[in-house]
Amino acid sequence: MHPDDIVWRPTEAHRRDSRVGRLMDRVGAATPQALHAWSVADIGRFWDTALADLGVVWDVPYRTPLDLSEGFPWARWFVGGRLNVVRSCLERHAGGAAAARTALVAEDEDGRTRTLTYRELFDEVGRAAGCLRDLGVRPGDRVGIYMPMAADVVVALFACLQVGAVAVPVFSAFGPEALAVRLKDAEAVVLFTADAGRRRGQPVPIKPAADQAVAGAPSVRHVVVKRHVGIDVPWTAGRDVDWADAVSRRAPDRRIESLEAEAPSMVLYTSGTTGRPKGTVHTHAGCLATMTKEVGYAFDVKPGDVFFWLTDIGWMMGPWEMIGVTCLGGTLVVYEGAPNWPRPDRLFEVVARHRVTHLGVAPTAVRVLRRAGDDLPDRHDLSALRVLGSTGEPWDAESWTWFFERVGGRRCPVVNISGGTEIVGCLLSPLPVTPLKPTTLWGPGLGVDTDVFDDAGRPIRGGIGHLVCKQPVPSMTKGFLNDRQRYLDTYFTRFPGVWYHGDWAHVDADGFWFLHGRSDDTIKVAGKRVGPAEVEAAIVAHPQASEAAAIGVPDALKGEAIVAFVVLKPGVPESEALREALSKAVEADLGKTLRPKALKFVDALPKTRSAKIVRGAIRRRFLGEPPGDLASVENPDALDAIARAR
């Protein structure tokens, strides 16, 4: 199969039976390109139409869809409207004909499964919401979520939203320092956590790391602990609250806070290239609008469909699927554990057992699964699948083709989407009615006015350029928490008045869009984004390390891998034992996925006169590429040592 071949061509039945096909008919768009052009010609009109079509519930209808009086960076959406995510996602289903429909299926590595109907899920969320109110949580308070990907993490998220608290989900494999930074920055007052999770057949303690983090986050008053695995954990009387007592044994609290459309719903942290992680702020209306639009139109989820994306609550795809799928009345599957344990085909067992209709994975997961044999998917009945999904990193054509052919049987489109935590949605997205080439993202998402610019800010076709967005999207972050200027500097200084996303992209001669990775220093390993500063901080916390620089390098399996360069303190000898200890320090703080692929000892790091480490130059020299302009580098000889470390 040639990368330039069109390998997926939708039929008239795809158009006729899909949500987006009906939208095309409604607005008189003959082609997907015409529908997109209509959607960005008047974005207020598009969102009016889409939200009514998708059935988003308003307590008070909005007066106007978009207010740009303060400019693009501070766009205000759905002005005058009031709502709550829980109203659209749970209450309306739990109180109607869908009450007995399965809302959530949670499975772990051992095959243990918990199933909740919409009525049961709404009840569980109501119990957890009542617990938060009992603990004094009020609208606008921030609540951390540091739990494994089990049923209760879904309950915790919706409970926060029901009471108007701002959820702060954190990846459960992060170490205590990474968690503490986020809890402290968010000024969280409560933390939901668990005794432990399960991974590759072993319990993985979570509560001890939560305790260490809370010690560095004085705003946290209470820690609600789910005894998920049943191991003994430390307990702080007066602060720690047992989920079984405070949640499971109480009656559901049915009260749902009615909130302004722009009331914050979540703070999701995304790592930058320097400094602390960035807290992106998202609203109730923004999340509902974008997530439901994408799950509904791009993935064509309908009531009763079974949606499974291999992800975590700490990455944006976790909240994205939880909100989008339930708003549309689908069934959500969450999985705790590794996709290839205890057997290499574990992922496909889950898909077959629950008759999954929509399967989403990161390209790295596909690369891992392929290594176990091309026939892996053939061992299971995957006939219920009708849409495949992917995000997180660029594909290679061979892995994409394997996914399309062996998993989807050439009958399921690969809806390869790309956006980011700062948007909790997509800038680029195919539709089930668009043709596809291997690895393509097809084009801009509906209602998203994207383009590819050259360095001078002019649209470019055929060559690689900068991915940008020329009009606001409802789910774009409302600045960075506690750092208004950093938000402006990150997205609006490169091309004034235009959102600069930081991805390399190109549009081919046939109009298909493709991505080529990040244009900044941010590293993406297996779809998980991390800033070099966080990796470096974990290394230099070791008493024998003085300085560190982390870069991302191409990796055939994970897309990118981390290589770290370390300067030891004077008199400390290099050793394999120390190399292992420093690598383990990163693993302990950020999780096994983000452990460095290689760790190199060097005498000095190249820096500017202002002591800024020049990571771009380090990366280019390590990869044997032209070093670029080194005029600002004070000690360019240090780059020679980087080259010798290859």
Residue pLDDT, tens place only, 253-262: 999 999 999 9
- Judge contact between 367 and 556, C-beta under 8 A: yes
Collect contacts of 77-80 with beta carbons under 8 A, ≥24 apart.
77/47, 77/261, 77/262, 77/283, 77/285, 77/286, 77/289, 77/472, 77/474, 78/47, 78/261, 78/262, 78/285, 78/289, 78/474, 79/261, 80/261
Tokens linked to 548: 């560190």
Q: Please identify which residue in the block is written with the tokens 């668009």.
A: 434
Residue pLDDT, tens place only, 550-577: 999 999 999 999 999 999 999 999 999 9
Q: Is a pLDDT exceeding 90 seen at residue 614?
A: no
- 278-283 β-sheet, strand order: 240-242, 222-226, 190-194, 142-146, 166-169, 264-270, 278-283
Q: What is the mean pLDDT of residues 27-50?
A: 98
Q: What was the pLDDT predicted at 611?
A: 54
Q: Is a pLDDT exceeding 70 seen at residue 608?
A: no
Q: What is the mean pLDDT of residues 515-528?
A: 82
Residue pLDDT, tens place only, 298-349: 999 999 999 999 999 999 999 999 999 999 999 999 999 999 999 999 999 9
Residue pLDDT, tens place only, 279-307: 999 999 999 999 999 999 999 999 999 99
Would you give the distance in Å from CA 596 to the centre of its chain?
Answer: 21
In order of 174, 197, 369, 416, the CA distances from 171 in angstroms are 6, 12, 23, 23
Residue type for position 433? V
User: Distance between CA 331 and CA 358 in Å, rounded?
Assistant: 10
Closest among 81, 70, 427 to 285, alpha carbons compared: 81
For residues 41, 47, 49, 53, the Cα torsion angle rounded to the nearest 10 degrees is 140
Answer left, alpha or beta for residue 479, where phi above 0 means left and psi between -120 and 50 means alpha. left
Q: What is the mean pLDDT of residues 27-38?
A: 98
pLDDT class of 398 with cuts at 50, 70, 90:
confident
Q: What was the pLDDT predicted at 136?
A: 98
pLDDT class of 276 with cuts at 50, 70, 90:
confident
Query: Is omega for the bond preceding 342 within 30 degrees of 0, making it cis?
Result: yes
Give me the percent of the chain exceeding a pLDDT of 90.
84
Q: Does residue 491 fall inside a structural domain? A: no
Answer left, alpha or beta for residue 409, where phi above 0 means left and psi between -120 and 50 means alpha. left
Q: Is a pLDDT exceeding 80 seen at residue 628?
A: no
The residue among 373 and 357 whose pLDDT is bigger is 357
Q: What was the pLDDT predicted at 540?
A: 86
In order of 145, 246, 409, 419, the CA distances from 193 in angstroms are 6, 13, 40, 28
Spell 556-565 as b/e; 16+ CB within 10 A means b. Answer: eebbbbbbbb
Q: Helices 19-27 and 43-54 sit at what angle, rounded to 10 degrees?
A: 130
Residue pLDDT, tens place only, 189-216: 999 999 999 999 999 999 999 999 999 9
Tokens linked to 322: 């939880």
Q: Does residue 600 fall inside a structural domain? A: yes
Q: What was the pLDDT predicted at 165?
A: 99
Q: Is a pLDDT exceeding 90 seen at residue 358?
A: yes
Q: What was the pLDDT predicted at 274?
A: 45
Q: Does residue 197 fall inside a structural domain? A: no
The 10 Å Cβ neighbour count of residue 458 is 10
Q: What is the mean pLDDT of residues 462-483?
A: 96
State the first-to-last Cα distance of the chain, in angstroms, to the nearest integer: 34
CATH number at residue 541: 3.30.300.30
Spell 512-549 as b/e; 16+ CB within 10 A means b. Answer: bbbbebbbebbbbbbbbbbbbbbbbbbbbebeebebbb
Q: Does residue 531 fall inside a structural domain? A: yes
Domain count, the chain: 1
Tokens linked to 243: 């989920």
Residue pLDDT, tens place only, 97-119: 999 999 999 999 989 999 999 99
Residue pLDDT, tens place only, 374-394: 999 999 999 999 999 999 888
If you average pLDDT over every residue of the chain, what do you get?
94
Q: Does residue 585 fall inside a structural domain? A: yes
Q: Is a pLDDT exceeding 80 seen at residue 512?
A: yes
Q: Helices 151-163 and 118-134 sit at what angle, rounded to 10 degrees?
A: 60
Alpha helices in 272-407, H assignment, sequence order: 284-293, 317-327, 346-353, 363-370, 397-402
Closest among 123, 128, 237, 279 to 192, alpha carbons compared: 128
Rounded to two decimals, what is the model's pTM?
0.89
Q: Does residue 569 fall inside a structural domain? A: yes
pLDDT class of 40 with cuts at 50, 70, 90:
very high
Comparing 10-19, 141-150, 606-615, which segment has the lowest mean pLDDT?
Answer: 606-615
| Domain that includes residue 639, residue range | 523-644
Q: Please identify which residue in the block is written with the tokens 């772990």.
A: 108
Closest among 333, 357, 335, 359 to 346, alpha carbons compared: 335
Q: What is the mean pLDDT of residues 29-49?
A: 98
Q: Does residue 236 fall inside a structural domain? A: no
pLDDT class of 631 with cuts at 50, 70, 90:
low
Q: Helices 576-590 and 176-186 sit at what angle, rounded to 10 degrees?
A: 40
Map residue 502 onto helix, strand or coil: strand
Q: Does residue 433 fall inside a structural domain? A: no
The residue among 534 and 406 whose pLDDT is bigger is 406
Give me the percent of the chain exceeding a pLDDT of 70.
98
DSSP string, 202-256: EEEE-HHHHHHHHHT-TT--EEEEE-SS-------TTTEEEHIIIIITSPP----
DSSP string, 131-190: HHHHTT--TT-EEEEE--SSHHHHHHHHHHHHHT-EEEE--TTS-HHHHHHHHHHHT-SE
Q: What was the pLDDT predicted at 304?
A: 94
Residue pLDDT, tens place only, 488-502: 999 999 999 999 999
User: Distance between CA 496 and CA 37 in Å, rounded?
Assistant: 23
Q: What was the pLDDT predicted at 543?
A: 93
